[in-house]
Amino acid sequence: MERRDFRDWIERYEHAWREPGTQELAGLFATDANYRQAPYAEPVEGLEAIEAMWEREREGPDEAFTMTAELTAVDGEVGVARVEVHYGAPAEGSYRDLWVIELREDGRARSFEEWPFAPGGREFASGEEE
């Protein structure tokens, strides 16, 4: 995999977040992918389960947010990015994440893991605020 493959995946992830429904996710995640919302969280396994989680977790496609991402490392099929998200207008919440993305040859994620942190050093142990 090349750096551009991971940059493209991150751009498509943000685009999918801004779209209604979950149909964009089939282009992002393999049918047997796993998605871990925090390092110690149980993974959400399979595309259908990821789609259900996606709809539960986000406010909807018109959710106000800005997102920036910096790809920091690529080693074969694994890429790591620093991602910052500010929700609301004006900003009502913000998070900094590390994303660990493992891509298949077809450009879809085999696994995706977030390491989210909120201001003040709060971290998330199971995908929920402590």
How far apart are alpha carbons 93 and 83 in whole angstroms? 14
pLDDT for position 95: 85
Q: What is the DSSP string of 70-87?
A: EEEEEETTEEEEEEEEEE
pLDDT for position 90: 60
How far apart are alpha carbons 69 and 11 in whole angstroms? 9
Predicted confidence (pLDDT) per residue in 24-71, tens digit: 999 999 999 999 999 999 999 999 999 999 999 887 777 788 899 999
Average pLDDT, the chain: 89
Predicted confidence (pLDDT) per residue in 66-93, tens digit: 899 999 999 999 999 999 988 876 657 7
The CATH number of domain 3-118 is 3.10.450.50: yes
pTM of the shown model: 0.87
E strand map for the chain: 29-36, 44-45, 65-75, 78-87, 93-103, 109-117
Per-domain boundaries in the chain: 3-118
